[in-house]
Structure 1
Amino acid sequence: MASLLSVKNLKIEATSYPPGEPPRTVTLVEGVSFDVEKGKVLGLIGESGAGKSTIGLTSLAYGRGGVRITGGEVLLDGEDILKLSPAGIRKVRGCKVCYVAQSAAAAFNPAHRLGEQVIEASLKHGIMSRAEAEKRAVHLFGVLGLPNPETFGQRYPHQVSGGQLQRAMTAMALCPNPELIVFDEPTTALDVTTQIDVLAAIKHAIEETHTAALYITHDLAVVAQITDDILVLRHGKMVEYGPVKQIIEAPREDYTRALVNVRGTKREEAADQSGALLRVENVTAGYGMLRVLQDVSLHLPKGQTLAVVGESGSGKSTLARVITGLLPPQEGRITFDGKPLPKALKGRSNDELRRIQMIYQMADTAMNPRQTVRDIIGRPLTFYYGLRGEKKTARVKELLEQIEMGGRFADRYPAELSGGQKQRVAIARALAASPELILCDEPTSALDPLVAEGILNLLHKLQEETQVSYVFITHDIAIVRAIADSVAVMHRGRLVRFGPKSKVLSPPFDDYTDLLLKSVPEMEIGWLERVLETRRMESAGN
Structure 2
Amino acid sequence: MTPKPRTGSAGDILLEVRGLRVEGQSDDVWHEIVKGVNLTLRRGEVLGLIGESGAGKSTIGLAAMGYTKPGCRISAGTVMFDGTDLAKASEEAKRKLWGPRLSYVAQSAAASFNPAHRLIEQYAEIPVSHGVMGEGEAKKQAVDLFRRLRLPDPEHIGARYPHQVSGGQLQRAMTAMAMSCHPDLIVFDEPTTALDVTTQIEVLAAIKDVVRQLHTAAIYISHDLAVVAQMADRIMVLRYGELVEEAPTAQMLSNPQQAYTKSLWAVRSLHKKEDPGGDKILQIKNVDAGYGNAIKVLHDVSVEIPRGRTVAVVGESGSGKSTLARVITGLLPPLKGTVTFNGQPLPPALKSRPKELLRRLTMIYQMPDTALNPRRRVRDIIGRPLTHHLGLRGAARDKRVVDLLEMIELDRRFLDRLPSELSGGQKQRVCIARALAVEPDLIICDEVTSALDQIVAEGILKLLLRLQKELDVSYLYITHDLATVKAIADWVVVMHQGRVVQQGPKEQVLRPPHHPYTELLLSSVPEMDPKWLDGLLARRAAAASAKMAPVA
Residues 17, 67 of structure 1: CA spacing in aligned structure 2 closer, same or farther, 3 A cutoff? closer
Change (3 A) 1:213 1:298: same
CA distance in structure 1 between the aligned counterparts of 2:181 and 2:380, rounded to whole angstroms: 51
| 1:129-172, Cα deviation, whole Å (9 max, x unpaired) | 778767766665555455677x4696455576655554444444
1:5 is aligned to 15
Counterpart code for 2:296: R
Q: Give the letter aligned to residue 78 of structure 2.
A: E
Say if 2:396 is the partner of 1:359.
no
Which residue of structure 2 lines up, in the alignment, with residue 284 of structure 1?
Answer: 288
Identify the residue that residue 199 of structure 1 maps to in structure 2. Answer: 204
What are the Cα deviations for residues 470-495 of structure 1, in whole angstroms up to 9, with x where unaligned?
Answer: 11122211111100000111223221
Q: Give CA-to-partner distance per residue, 1:250-280, whole Å, 9 cap, x none.
A: 222232222222x521534423457523221
Amino acid at match of 2:364: I
Q: Deviations over 1:98-150 (max 9, x none)?
A: 3333344555556666566556555555556778767766665555455677x
Give the deviation of 1:225 after TM superposition.
0.5
Change (3 A) 1:257 1:369: same
Number of the residue aligned with 2:268: 264
SS in 2 for 1:514: helix
Moved more, 170-179 or 394-403: 394-403
- Do the aligned partners of 2:268 and 2:458 also contact (CA within 8 Å) in 1? no
Secondary structure of the structure 1 residue equivalent to 2:187: strand
Match of 2:213 in 1: 208
Give per-residue Cα distances to partners, 1:278-329, cap 9 Å, x unaligned. 2211122334324332211121222211011223333223323333444433
1:498 and 2:508 aligned? no
Count of paired positions: 534
Q: Is the alpha carbon distance of 1:338 and 1:248 closer, same or farther for their aligned partners in structure 2, counting shifts above 3 Å?
A: same
Secondary structure of 2:312's counterpart equals strand
Residue 519 of structure 2 is aligned to residue 514 of structure 1: yes
Check the 8 A contact 2:108/2:369 in 1, yes or no: no
Please give the root-mean-square deviation of Cα atoms over the aligned residues, in Å. Answer: 3.7
State yes or no: 1:530 paired with 2:535. Answer: yes
Structure with higher Rg: it is: 1
List gaps (5 residues or longer) in structure 1.
none
Tell me the SS of whatever aligns to 2:15.
Answer: strand
The residue that corresponds to 1:60 in the other structure is 65
- TM-score (ref. length: structure 1): 0.84
Report what 1:296 is aligned to: 301
Worse-superposed segment, 151-160 or 239-248: 151-160
TM-aligned CA deviation for residue 188 of structure 1: 1.7
Alpha-carbon distance between aligned partners in 2 of 1:153 and 1:437, rounded to the nearest angstrom: 37
Q: Deviations over 1:184-238 (max 9, x none)?
A: 2222222222221111011011222222111122221211111100112222221
Specify which of 314, 317, 323 is matched with residue 322 of structure 2: 317
TM-score normalised by length of structure 2: 0.83
Q: Does 1:76 align with 2:116?
A: no
Which amino acid counterpart does residue 97 of structure 2 have in structure 1? V
TM-aligned CA distance change 1:341 to 1:157, over 3 Å: closer
Are the aligned partners of 2:168 and 2:194 in contact in 1 as well (CA < 8 Å)? no
1:69-218 to 2 correspondences below 5 Å: 69-104=74-109, 107=112, 118=123, 121-122=126-127, 124-125=129-130, 140=145, 143-145=148-150, 151=155, 155-156=159-160, 158=162, 162-218=167-223
CA contact (8 A) 1:110 1:156 kept: no
- CA-CA distance at 1:344 after TM superposition: 4.2
Determine helix, strand or coil for the equivalent of 1:516: helix
| Aligned residue number for residue 233 of structure 1 | 238
Aligned residue identity for 1:281: K
Distance in 1, matches of 2:14 and 2:323, equals 48
Would you say the 8 A contact 2:282–2:340 is kept in 1?
yes
Matching of residue 24 in structure 1 with residue 29 in structure 2: yes
| Alignment-mate amino acid for residue 9 of structure 1 | G
TM-aligned CA distance change 1:112 to 1:355, over 3 Å = closer
Alignment partners' CA distance in 1, 2:115 and 2:369: 25
Residue 46 (structure 1) aligned with residue 51 (structure 2): yes
Where 1:65 maps in the other structure, the secondary structure is coil
Give the direction of change, closer, same or farther, for the CA distance of 1:385–1:167 in structure 2 (3 Å limit).
closer
Q: Secondary structure at 1:64's aligned position in 2?
A: coil
Q: Higher mean Cα deviation, 46-55 or 497-506?
A: 46-55
Summarize the Cα distance change of 1:120–1:153 in structure 2 as closer, same or farther, 3 Å threshold. Answer: farther
Q: Which moved more, 1:357-366 or 1:281-290?
A: 357-366
Please state whether the residue corresponding to 1:224 is helix, strand or coil: helix
| Overall identity of the aligned pairs, in % | 57
The one-letter code sitting in structure 2 at the alignment partner of 1:470 is Y
Q: Which runs of 5+ in 2 are unaligned?
A: 1-10, 548-552
